Structure 1
Amino acid sequence: AHLMEIQVNGGTVSQKVDYAYGFFEKQIPVDAVFQKDEMIDIIGVTKGKGYEGVVTRWGVTRLPRKTHRGLRKVACIGAWHPARVS
């Protein structure tokens, strides 16, 4: 796994930069950064997929080939009666 960013605490800004500069292009083991059962905050960004329709975005089933007004749309999503999910 690639670790992209770690917070460096303590010292002045120049000391932090010098400390981080010493680790460029080097392997850092996970146990040197984290302890066992330590809670960490993770922030993630999803891979952008652009403007997507309902088939790709939500995984609905494509309609049959001869469907009027489009194939990649949402059609029936449930029964008419009862009008609510029970």
Structure 2
Amino acid sequence: MSETYDAVLDRIVDGEHATLLLEADDAVVDEYVIDVMEVPEDGRHEGAVFHAVVRDERIAELTYRQEETTKRTENAQDRLDRLSRPLSDEEN
């Protein structure tokens, strides 16, 4: 039986292991550590978003989602920008 998730590359350790956080309903539901060579090359960076298929408790497929990665990065930057503004800027 297969299950599908959004997966976010949280970190790469020692250039060898990639930690993926699996998400469902906007919450992290599991974590997998896989060989970094199993990650599509264009998505081998922190914050990359993937479509993940889990089968038999293993990640069977990973598809890099460039548009979703860009969208999440831009949303995070917007939040940081808003939080870094002085309160006096918020009032105007």
Greater relative CO (CA pairs within 8 A, separation 6+): 2
Report the TM-score, using the length of structure 2 for normalisation: 0.23
Would you tell me which structure has more strand in proportion to its own residues?
Answer: 2
Larger radius of gyration: 1
